[in-house]
Copies of this chain bind each other. A is one copy, B any other.
């Protein structure tokens, strides 16, 4: 894989903080375009400076308004801020567009604020990978803070919160059953709880419930505080930001030097498996292993047996996994070329 002129040009523009290049790169990541790996390899050394904050909670909890307020507070500190919103709605419906409009109102003329929605259903099944790469890109672009916003549902959507140094779980007083459901999934990932719309009835009760919950499972280390906010009135947002600051300091002190090393190894494994999956899917779709595919199609071979046959022949497997770009047709290959 040699230098790719298109990637080099994008990279040059990216280094100059060209927002159109940034937007195009994120789209490439979403589409799993060729060249993304190479691009990520080049910008990786530039990433690692941004603080990543995750904001999650049920629809209607006021996350977007809260994020808008956090942006304003961070801008007052002179920070460059990016938001990656994971939108649960489909690419065919209007949800994402509306969400963007609300979020953009306050900051759309501010060059130091970049806001992007991606659909949780539009990332070719690779939401975790796409989100990780986009966070690196936003970080490398020079943002001081990257905020990831998700609706707190679903295996993949919750997995995205692993990218955040600090995860904020937003609840509202009138949650009722919803709060129960949410608590079930979200308690374990929360570093900070927010009770938003804290002027409404029941805010004190839910604060007490969450504090009890934290107390019951508390051990040594960080105990997630419960912060009351009224995002629409900008109340409690300063206190939330201070709490996030405290948590950032806590993790900086409590994580030993091996933490980053292990994170990089973990990321390597993720990148390799995603790339293998991409190649295998494409190669098999393009007609690699035609003998197997034909026999599966006719029903002569069941898919599990075919998979075993492929996995037991490293040469065959290597064929499937070799880069499409520089791969001769499958019949010309010798099994086990190294």
Contact = CB atoms under 8 A, between A and B. Distances in A.
Contact of A267 (B155, B183, B265, B303): B303
Interface stretch (A15-23, A64-72, A306-314): A306-314
Contacts of A93: 183-185, 187
Q: How large is the interface on A (under 10, 10 to 19, 20 to 34, 35 or more residues)?
A: 35 or more
A10 interface: no
Given A153-B88, A181-B59, A181-B89, A321 B310 contact: no
A interface, over-half SS: helix
A95 interface: yes
A21 to B, nearest CB: 19
Nearest to A60: B177
B336 A38 contact: no
A200 to B, nearest CB: 16
Contacts of A184: 88-90, 93-95
A89 B185 contact: yes
Nearest to A315: B338
A45 interface: yes
A304 B155 contact: no
A158 interface: yes
B277 A273 contact: yes
B159 A307 contact: no
Interface stretch (A163-171, A203-211, A294-302): A294-302
Interface stretch (A74-82, A219-227, A237-245, A280-288): A280-288
A157 B154 contact: yes
A107 B320 CA distance: 48
Copies in the complex: 2
A241 to B, nearest CB: 28
A261 B296 CA distance: 7
B284 A268 contact: yes
A23 to B, nearest CB: 21
A57 B320 CA distance: 39
A90 B156 contact: no
Contact of A125 (B154, B155, B320): B155
A321 B315 CA distance: 10
A318 B41 CA distance: 23
Task: List the 3 shortest-distance A-B pairs measured between CB atoms, nearest first.
Answer: A154-B154, A315-B338, A336-B336
Given A44-B302, A95-B181, A264-B296, 7 more contacts: A92-B188, A151-B153, A154-B154, A154-B157, A271-B304, A272-B320, A313-B338
Interface of A: 1, 37-38, 40-41, 44-45, 59-60, 88-90, 92-95, 120-121, 123, 125, 127, 151, 153-159, 177-178, 181, 183-185, 187-188, 260-262, 264-265, 267-269, 271-273, 275-277, 279-281, 284-285, 292-293, 296-299, 302-308, 310-323, 335-338
